Amino acid sequence: MTGEPIQPRDSAVPTLAGVIAGAPDPTIARIVALVDAMTRRGPADLLIEPLRQRLATLRPPRPLRFGRLMFCPLDPLIVPRARWRPGQPAIPRTALMAMAEQVRLTMGAPATSIETRIAGRTTADVELISRLGRSLWPAAAGILAGTPIPQTWDATGLGDVNYRPLADAVAALLAQAATIDTLCTEAATGLLPPPPEAINTVIGRVARVNPAALPMIIAVLLDRLPQAAELLAAAHTGPDGAHTRTAIDEATDLLLRNLDQHDGTEARIATGTLADAAAAASRIAALLKHLDTPNARPRRRDRLRALRQRLDAECKARFAAALENELLAPLQRMGIAPAPAEITALEAAARGLRVLETTARAVGSGATYDLLLGNAAEAIKGSAMRNRLSRADQLRLVEILSGSDAALAMLVQPA
C-alpha cells in the first residue's frame, strides 16, 4: 500500500458501503481495523460512515492516533460532513485529518515523540490522553491560529472559504482544553465542584479571542461538566449577559440534536466498559436534569423527557446484554476447576453490572434491575454451578450482585 488515498468512482461508493454495512460483526471489526491503520484514509471514511451505529454496539478497540488525541476534547462538536453547515457551532468530521496532519507536520519532533508514546495504545487510555493532551492541545491551538490552509484541505470537500473560520474556532477551543480537562479531573473526585470563576474565565477567554466559538466551548463544558449549566445561567443574567445566553441556547440545541440522532445516546452507553457506560449515563442524566429548568420552552422539555426515556431504555439494554455476555455466558462455558483469571473476570463483570445498575436506577425504574440481578444470583446459587464454582466463589458473586444480606442468607442454608 502506497499510503495514497483510494479513489473509487462516486457511483461505486454507495453500493460498496451498503455491502459493508450488511457484513457480519467480525468482518466489520476487520474493515474498521484496516481503515484505522491507513495513514491517509480519504474516501475510505465514506465506507465506514454507515457503520458508526454498529461500531457503538460492537465496541471494537480504536487505536489512539495523533488526530484522535488532538480532537478528543472536542468530540461533542464533531458531526458528519452531511449534517454540517457553515456557521454552525460544530466541526465537520472530514476536517479533522487535514487539521491534525497540519499540526503534526508543523510540530515536527515533538509530534513524533507523541506518536511513539501512543503507539499500540487505544482511546481507553484516558490517563495517557490527559497527560499528553495537556501539552499537545495548546501547541495545536497556536499552530492552527497561525498557519495557512493545508494542501490536503481539498480532500475535505469543505471549500477553502471555510478553512479559516473552522481553524480559528478549533484553535480557540483547544487553547482551553487543558484547563477544562483539569476541571473535569477535579470534579470527578466528587470533592470539588467546578469553580464558577474558572468556568467564567474559560468562557471569557473564548469570547475575547473568537466570539463565534462561544456556543462551541459552552457545548464542550456542558457535555463534560453538566453542573456548569446552572453556573452559567446564574452568572449571565441581565442585559450584559444576552450574548452568552444566546450562546448557551445554541450550545444546548447542538447537544440535544446530537443526542436526538439515532445513535446519539446509544453510542455513549454502548461504548467502553460498564464503568464507562455508567459514567456516560450519569453525565447525560445530569445534563438533561440541569437543562430542564422551569423557564425551558415546552418543546425543549418534551425533547428532554423523550431523551430520558431513551436513556433509560438504553441503560437497560446495555445492562441486559452485559449480564448475558459478560457474566452468564462465561459461567455456562466454564468447566470444572476454573482458572483464577476466570473467577476474577466474573467478579469484575459483576462489579461493573452493579456500577451501571446504581447509576441507571436514577434514570428510570429499578424493578428491571432487581429482577435481572435476582435471576443471576439464583443461577449462581443453583446446583449446576456447584461443580464449577467453589462455595466461597458463589458467596462472593452473590454478595456483589445482590448484597450482603443475600450472601448471608445463602451462607446459612445447607450447601
Q: Report pLDDT digits (tens) over 265-311.
A: 777 887 778 888 898 899 899 899 888 888 888 999 999 999 999 99
What is the amino acid identity at position 108?
G
* Predicted TM-score (pTM) of this structure: 0.78
Q: How far is CA 164 from each of CA 86, 204, 216, rounded to the nearest angstrom?
A: 12, 21, 16
Residue 2: the pLDDT is 39
Residues of the chain with pLDDT under 50: 1-14
Backbone angle region of 157, left / alpha / beta, with phi > 0 → left and psi within -120 to 50 → alpha: left
What cell does 33 get? 481495523
Give burial (CB, 10 Å; 0-12/13-18/19+) of 86: exposed
Q: Report pLDDT digits (tens) over 90-114.
A: 999 999 999 999 999 999 999 999 9
Residue 201: the pLDDT is 92
Q: How far is CA 318 from the centre of its chain?
A: 15
Q: Which residues contact 273 (CB under 8 A, 6 or more apart)?
A: 124, 352
Q: Residue ranges per domain, the chain?
A: 1-60, 64-243, 323-412
Q: Report pLDDT digits (tens) over 347-357.
A: 999 999 999 99
Q: Are strands 78-79 and 91-92 parallel, antiparallel or unpaired?
A: parallel
**Alpha-carbon span 250 to 88, nearest angstrom:** 9
Give burial (CB, 10 Å; 0-12/13-18/19+) of 339: exposed
